Amino acid sequence: MDRIRLVGGNKLNGRIPISGAKNAALPLMIASLLTDDTLTLENVPHLADVEQLIRILGNHGVDYAVNGRREKQQEGYSRTISFTARNIVDTTAPYELVSKMRASFWVIGPLLARMGEAKVSLPGGCAIGTRPVDLFLEGLDALGAKIDVENGYVIAKAKNRLKGNRFVFPKVSVGATHVLMMAATLARGETVLENAAREPEVVNLADCLNAMGANIVGAGTSTITIQGVDMLSGARQKVIPDRIETGTYAMAVAMAGGDVLLENARPDLLQTALDVIAQTGAEITPTNSGIRVTRNGHGIHPVDVTTEPFPGFPTDLQAQFMGLMTMAKGRSRITETIFENRFMHVQELARLGAHISLSGQTATVEGVDMLKGAPVMATDLRASVSLVIAGLAAEGETVVNRVYHLDRGFERLEEKLSGCGAVIERLSS
Ligand code: UD1
């Protein structure tokens, strides 16, 4: 299993190109199931989760082609990929595939809408909490689907097409919003989704669906209205820049110090997080080509943070922010409201010398003057990158084990950081 070795202490200086967003690319790829025409996606990040979803879609009959490899599309870089679901050969998503990546459960929406049936394995538990699928099932039921759960599978049927309806999400869910929006595009009549997720990835998906011929208004607000159409066609859509990757590297600079231009980053996708990072003492400057982050070496100010659905502070940046706060000049409180068990990084940060205590959903971090390098374990995608951030500022050597978590969501992490002066390398085994 690969490991990452870091030696902390260097400031970061230079440019980091921000990749296409994993969490936008995945639902856009799944949207290809809605049409027999070709959907071309630009700026698709080269990540383990994307490769896994390509395999899952292939199982349903989706062909893909990586376009224009010659033009700057080197191995490991964001690519343009075309997906064609001319014939859906299988409406079952088996346990072996769905259990590897939770977002693959989302195929249930397009399969049901286009084929009138879908049998999809329950995704099961996950390291950051129970993550149930009740909202998906309630929503699809509201659109007229007949839902049964048998032997670990959700069996959904809508023999005479889905039917538009009003559905109020009892809780904000990004995944359930993606799925119901996709399903409603091919339903008969109007669907109104209330208390919908407002994340930028939902807007990226709605833009793509509209380019495919759907009729969706209100994406990015909490009320999304969809007029169903008979069929969708192909389209071309660009994946938005990754706001979590942007925030992660901004926090890395805030922690290690330096001056880095985050190329292609869009401030509007993470304004709340940028405001928080600025409060810690870093300088954040939007430029024509991205976001410049500088920190002049003064102490890190402690800031309290509570995770919330967009436009609030994202749960996917909570671990990284805790990494930053471990060396703040004082005490900060970090409250997690989205997932009930998303603090596995606490004990690993403690191995680096961090002082953190947990009480329910709140972590209290007492900043220390210096962290000290140590062997640590990556436990999930975002938690593992918090260890990298902390390791960049720690004294001495840190080795992060189980880096396959990082490969799921961070494109060319070592290369991007070492390009800015960090001492970081992958140890393959
Ligand atoms: C997506 C992101 C993930 C991010 C999360 C919250 C992708 C691939 N993943 O995950 O990185 O951390 O949004 O911003 O885009 N819930 C239910 N019932 C359901 C569905 C969800 O109770 O049927 C709960 C979840 O357990 C959680 C909350 O709703 O407590 C929010 O989850 P949700 O927004 O659905 O997260 P994902 O879409 O899985």
| Alpha helices in 271-380, H assignment, sequence order | 271-279, 318-325, 345-351
Find the length of the chain.
Answer: 429
* CA 102 to ligand 1 center in whole angstroms: 10
* CA 196 to ligand 1 center in whole angstroms: 12
Q: What is d(CA 357, CA 362) in angstroms, rounded to the nearest whole number? A: 8
Residue 123: its pLDDT value, please? 86
pLDDT in tens, 85-101: 999 999 999 999 998 88
Q: What is d(CA 293, CA 251) in angstroms, rounded to the nearest whole number? A: 9
Residue 71: its pLDDT value, please? 46
Side-chain half-sphere CA neighbours of 113 within 13 A: 32
Ligand 1 pocket test: which of 53, 154, 174 has the largest number of ligand atoms within 8 Å of its C-beta?
174
∠ at Cα 197 (193, 128), nearest 5°? 130
Ligand 1 residue neighbourhood (C-beta within 6 Å): 23, 26, 102-103, 129, 131-136, 171, 173-176, 315-316, 338-339
Residue 378 pLDDT > 90: no
Q: How many helices (H) and strands (E) does the chain have?
A: 14, 24
Q: List 18's β-bridge partners, or say none.
A: none
* CA 74 to ligand 1 center in whole angstroms: 32
Token output for 209:
């669906």
Q: What is d(CA 255, CA 299) in angstroms, rounded to the nearest whole number? A: 9
Please answer whether residues 314 and 247 qualify as being in contact, where contact means their C-beta atoms are separated by less than 8 angstroms: yes
Q: Which atom of ligand 1 is nearest to the CA of 339?
A: 30
Q: Which atom of ligand 1 is nearest to the CA of 129?
A: 26
What is the rounded average pLDDT of the residues 287-316?
95
Residues 6+ apart with CB under 8 A from 341: 127, 128, 129
What is the rounded average pLDDT of the residues 232-259?
97
Token output for 425:
């390398």
* CA 171 to ligand 1 center in whole angstroms: 10
Please answer whether residues 154 and 147 qualify as being in contact, where contact means their C-beta atoms are separated by less than 8 angstroms: yes
pLDDT in tens, 148-207: 999 999 999 999 999 999 999 999 999 999 999 999 999 999 999 999 999 999 999 999
Residue 69 pLDDT > 90: no
Q: Pick the residue whose CA is nearest to atom 11 on ligand 1.
A: 316
Position 291, amino acid:
I
Residue 311: its pLDDT value, please? 98
Q: Pick the residue whose CA is nearest to atom 12 on ligand 1.
A: 316
Q: Pick the residue whose CA is nearest to atom 37 on ligand 1.
A: 175
Q: What are phi and psi of 82, to 5 degrees?
A: -105, 135
* Percentages of the chain per state (helix, strand, coil), in multiples of 5: 35, 30, 35
Please answer whether residues 31 and 233 qualify as being in contact, where contact means their C-beta atoms are separated by less than 8 angstroms: no
Regarding beta strands 153-157 and 146-150, do their DSSP bridges make them parallel or antiparallel, or are they unpaired?
Answer: antiparallel
| Domains of the chain with CATH codes | 3-19+241-427 (3.65.10.10), 22-234 (3.65.10.10)
Which residue from 371, 383, 379, 380 is spatially nearest to 6, judged by alpha carbons? 371
Please state, rounded to an integer, the average pLDDT across all residues of the chain.
Answer: 94
Residues 6+ apart with CB under 8 A from 219: 181, 196, 202, 203, 205, 206, 207
Nearest-10 Cα torsion for 65, 70, 71, 75: 70
* CA 315 to ligand 1 center in whole angstroms: 10
Region of 50 (left: φ > 0; alpha: ψ -120 to 50; beta: rest) is alpha
Residue 405: its pLDDT value, please? 84
Residues 6+ apart with CB under 8 A from 74: none
CA end-to-end span of the chain? 6
Residue 128: its pLDDT value, please? 47
DSSP string for 93-114: E-HHHHTT-GGGGGGHHHHHHH
Residues acting as catalytic residues: 126
pLDDT in tens, 107-163: 999 999 999 999 999 986 455 455 689 999 999 999 999 999 999 999 999 999 999
Q: Which atom of ligand 1 is nearest to the CA of 382?
A: 11
pLDDT in tens, 31-63: 999 999 999 999 999 999 999 999 999 999 999
Which segments of 112-189 are extended strands (E)?
Answer: 117-121, 146-150, 153-157, 166-168
Residue 72 pLDDT > 60: no
Helix, strand or coil, per DSSP, at residue 173: coil
Q: What are phi and psi of 370, to 5 degrees?
A: -150, 140
Ligand 1 pocket test: which of 198, 338, 380, 410 has the largest number of ligand atoms within 8 Å of its C-beta?
338
Choose between 78 and 187: higher pLDDT. 187
pLDDT in tens, 342-368: 898 999 999 999 999 999 999 999 999
Peptide bond into 311 cis (omega under 30): yes
**pTM score, whole prediction:** 0.96
